[in-house]
């Protein structure tokens, strides 16, 4: 496990390069042509958004149970990366939607619920930023991290509950995936590559958070008064001679 | 001589007493109905000036505009109480030993009453300005309290999450409004369903579900939120 952790960045870069090559060589879609290749980045970004928020949920539950600082750091880091991937999903979907649907944005339930999920987790990050005390921040963020996860199944099921423009699930659905198997292989490879990138970003963010906490603790220690500093020793040495 | 042991009041009575306390404070301050409700009325008046005063168009969007104003301005009402709580008041309430879930539900009760009053105060303005079809008005008897309760509980939860924070007045709405979307959707779709002669039971069930889930979230997270404040 350790060598993989050490070379995670290299693995992520190689996986992304391979995924990109496979995405460009996979057969084009019969109707959309090369436009459909956006799927190989749009779907992994959406998957990573789900995964990030699921990890935030799990770490939040874990923090409420175990009260370990590393779980709070994991929840925060994963939410930050998840917000990035949710934003990326919306932008890529918009770029894909313009030539296919004719509009950058439409009032499709999947789009609306995804945008709401984006804002819910922006709220999570704003809540963290607004709370200065680390313990209070961790506790409140953990509660909200658990509540906010309720949005994720709504986003995933929105295409089933309300049939609209966005296509229903083609892979995560009951039965055989309704996608060409060569395309499916390219998609799975890109999902794995994006997951490796997620792991790199998550690890970096957690390390940065740990360093920030160490710096804050060191600064507090440097500026804080020492215990007992306010107490001065009585001055016995200067006994003045009585005036004669 | 040992005095007879007095039993603590039941949680429901405690919650009702806290609701009364918050409502009494609101009667003294008068902010929800004397400031926020007129502000909501002004918002309803401004929208047609921005989107155009086409009467058929306004008639069709009137119901949606009303519920959007209820949602956005209702959030301000639900967050007001937690914003005016002094730290000493919070500490004193904690020392009384009342369970934190009861404290939050008491506050949610007061917020629900205020929101219902706000909805009723703004409703005539929406009817006069937009002239929406009123054939579905009996359903409002169910929809108005269900939306008020859901929004009140979500707002109370956000108030507890942002208690004591400098940016709570802006952060609170950011936390509540996205989560309150099912309330807005169900309220507007109830009107749509009845307009086309369909009973809106599914949408009412959604409102009830949101209310129950939000109340459950308050009960489950209350202890953690009290420890964190």
Give the Å distances, CA to CA, from B67 to A118, A242, B61, B120, B126: 23, 89, 10, 12, 10
d(CA B147, CA B32): 17
State residue B197's pLDDT score. 80
Smallest Cβ–Cβ distance between B224 and the set A119, A126, A139 belongs to A139
Residues of A in contact with B178 (CB under 8 A): 116-117, 119-120, 123, 151
Contact A126 B178 (CB under 8 A): no
* DSSP code per residue over chain A: -HHHHHTHHHHHHHHHHHHHHHHHHSPPBTTTBGGGGGHHHHHHHHHHHHHHHHHHHHHHHHHHHH--HHHHHHHHHHHHHHHHHHHHHHHHHHHHHHHHHSSS----HHHHHHHHHHHHHHHHHHHHHH--SHHHHHHHHHHHHHHHTTHHHHHHHHHHHS-SSSPPPSSSSSSS-SS-HHHHHHHHHHHHHHHHHHHHHHHHHHHHHHHHHHHHHHHHHHHSPPTTTT------S-PPPPP-
Strand partners for A33: A29
Name residues whose C-beta falls within 8 Å of residue A221's C-beta, 6 or more positions apart in sequence. Answer: none
State residue A139's pLDDT score. 92
pLDDT band at A3 (very low <50, low <70, confident <90, very high): low
**Does the structure show a pLDDT above 80 at A228?**
no
State residue A177's pLDDT score. 65
**Does the structure show a pLDDT above 70 at B227?**
no
Smallest Cβ–Cβ distance between B161 and the set A135, A144, A151 belongs to A144
Helices (H), B32-167: 37-51, 55-84, 87-95, 100-130, 137-161
Q: What is the pLDDT of residues B90-112, one digit of tens each?
A: 888 888 888 999 999 999 999 99
Once rounded to an integer, what is the mean pLDDT over residues A83-89?
95
Query: Lowest mean pLDDT: which of A61-65, B182-186, B190-194?
Result: B190-194
- Percent of chain A scored above 90 by pLDDT? 48
Residues of B in contact with A147 (CB under 8 A): 157, 179, 217, 221
**Does the structure show a pLDDT above 70 at A178?**
no
Q: Looking at chain B, how many residues does it have?
A: 229
Query: Lowest mean pLDDT: which of A72-81, B5-14, B126-135?
Result: B5-14
State residue A243's pLDDT score. 55
Please compute, for residue B155, the number of CA atoms within 13 A of its CA located in the half-sphere on the CB side: 33
State residue B195's pLDDT score. 80
- Shortest distance between the Cα of A171 and any Cα of chain B, in A, equals 27
State residue A57's pLDDT score. 96
d(CA A59, CA A146): 9
State residue B53's pLDDT score. 82
State residue B79's pLDDT score. 87
- Residue B30 CB coordination number (10 Å): 9
Smallest Cβ–Cβ distance between A140 and the set B167, B213, B228 belongs to B228
Contact A136 B228 (CB under 8 A): yes
State residue A190's pLDDT score. 93
Contact A143 B171 (CB under 8 A): no
Size of interface A-B (CB pairs under 8 A): 56
Once rounded to an integer, what is the mean pLDDT over residues A45-72?
94
- Residue B124 CB coordination number (10 Å): 10
Exposure string of A185-211, with b = 16+ CB inside 10 Å and e = fewer, is ebbbbbbebbbbbbbbbbeebbeebee
State residue A172's pLDDT score. 63
State residue B114's pLDDT score. 95
d(CA A132, CA A110): 35
State residue A219's pLDDT score. 86
Query: Lowest mean pLDDT: which of A183-192, B65-74, B78-87, B175-184?
Result: B78-87
Once rounded to an integer, what is the mean pLDDT over residues A102-117?
88
State residue A131's pLDDT score. 87
Terminus-to-terminus CA distance in chain B, angstroms? 40
State residue B181's pLDDT score. 87
- Residue B160 CB coordination number (10 Å): 23
**Does the structure show a pLDDT above 60 at A241?**
no
d(CA A59, CA A82): 14
Chain center to CA of B103 = 16
Interface check for A146 against chain B (CB to CB < 8 A): the answer is yes
Q: How confident is the prediction for chain B on average, in pLDDT?
A: 87
**Does the structure show a pLDDT above 60 at A242?**
no
Burial of A144 (0-12, 13-18, 19+ CB in 10 A): buried
Q: What is the pLDDT of residues B22-68, one digit of tens each?
A: 999 888 888 888 888 999 999 999 988 888 888 888 888 888 999 99
Terminus-to-terminus CA distance in chain A, angstroms? 86
Contact B171 A123 (CB under 8 A): yes
Contact B224 A136 (CB under 8 A): no
Once rounded to an integer, what is the mean pLDDT over residues B148-160?
94
Nearest residue to A93 (alpha-carbon basis) of A117, A75, A123, A77: A117
- The residue of chain B with its CA nearest to that of A152 is B179
d(CA B208, CA B206): 5
State residue A174's pLDDT score. 61
Residues of A in contact with B217 (CB under 8 A): 147
pLDDT band at A141 (very low <50, low <70, confident <90, very high): very high
Name residues whose C-beta falls within 8 Å of residue B39's C-beta, 6 or more positions apart in sequence. Answer: B73
State residue B152's pLDDT score. 95
State residue B207's pLDDT score. 93
**Does the structure show a pLDDT above 70 at B4?**
no
Q: How confident is the prediction for chain A on average, in pLDDT?
A: 86
**Does the structure show a pLDDT above 60 at B3?**
no
Q: Taking CA A110 as the corner, what is the angle to CA A105 and CA A115, rounded to the nearest 5 degrees?
A: 65
State residue B192's pLDDT score. 83
């Amino acid at each position: 496990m350790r060598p993989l952790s050490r070379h995670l960045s290299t693995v992520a870069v190689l996986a992304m390069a391979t995924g990109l090559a496979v995405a460009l060589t996979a057969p084009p879609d019969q109707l959309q042509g090369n436009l459909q290749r956006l799927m190989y980045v749009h779907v992994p970004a959406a998957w990573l958004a789900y995964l990030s928020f699921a990890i935030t949920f799990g770490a939040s539950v874990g923090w409420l149970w175990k009260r370990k600082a590393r779980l709070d750091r994991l929840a925060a880091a994963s939410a930050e990366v998840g917000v990035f991937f949710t934003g990326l999903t919306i932008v890529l979907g918009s770029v894909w939607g313009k030539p296919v649907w004719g509009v950058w944005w439409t009032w499709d339930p999947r789009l609306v619920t995804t945008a709401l999920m984006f804002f819910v987790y922006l709220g999570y990050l704003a809540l963290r930023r607004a709370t200065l005390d680390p313990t209070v921040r961790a506790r409140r963020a953990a509660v909200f991290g658990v509540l906010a996860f309720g949005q994720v199944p709504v986003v995933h099921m929105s295409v089933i509950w309300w049939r609209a423009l966005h296509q229903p699930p083609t892979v995560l659905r009951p039965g055989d995936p309704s996608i060409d198997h060569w395309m499916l292989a390219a998609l799975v490879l890109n999902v794995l590559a994006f997951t490796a990138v997620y792991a790199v970003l998550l690890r970096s963010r957690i390390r940065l958070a740990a360093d920030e906490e160490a710096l804050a603790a060191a600064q507090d220690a440097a500026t804080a008064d020492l215990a007992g500093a306010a107490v001065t020793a009585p001055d016995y040495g200067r006994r003045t001679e009585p005036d004669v | 001589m040992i005095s007879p042991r007095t039993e603590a009041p039941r949680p429901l009575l405690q919650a009702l007493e806290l609701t009364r306390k918050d409502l009494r404070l609101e009667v003294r301050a008068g902010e929800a109905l004397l400031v926020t409700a007129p502000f909501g009325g002004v918002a309803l008046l401004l929208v047609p000036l921005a989107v155009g005063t086409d009467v058929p168009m306004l008639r069709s969007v009137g119901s949606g505009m009303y519920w959007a104003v209820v949602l956005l301005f209702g959030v301000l009402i639900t967050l007001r109480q937690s914003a005016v709580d002094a730290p000493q008041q919070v500490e004193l309430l904690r020392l009384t030993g009342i369970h934190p879930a009861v404290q939050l539900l008491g506050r949610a009760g007061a917020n629900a009453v205020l929101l219902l009053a706000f909805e009723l105060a703004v409703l005539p303005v929406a009817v006069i300005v937009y002239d929406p079809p009123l054939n579905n008005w009996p359903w409002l008897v169910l929809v108005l309290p269900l939306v008020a309760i859901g929004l009140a509980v979500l707002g109370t939860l956000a108030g507890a999450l942002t208690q004591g924070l400098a940016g709570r007045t802006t952060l609170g709405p950011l936390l509540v409004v996205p989560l309150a979307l099912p309330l807005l959707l169900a309220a507007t779709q109830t009107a749509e369903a009845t307009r086309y002669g369909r009973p809106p039971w599914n949408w009412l069930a959604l409102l009830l579900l949101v209310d129950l889930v939000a109340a459950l979230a308050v009960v489950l997270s209350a202890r953690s939120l009290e420890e964190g404040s």
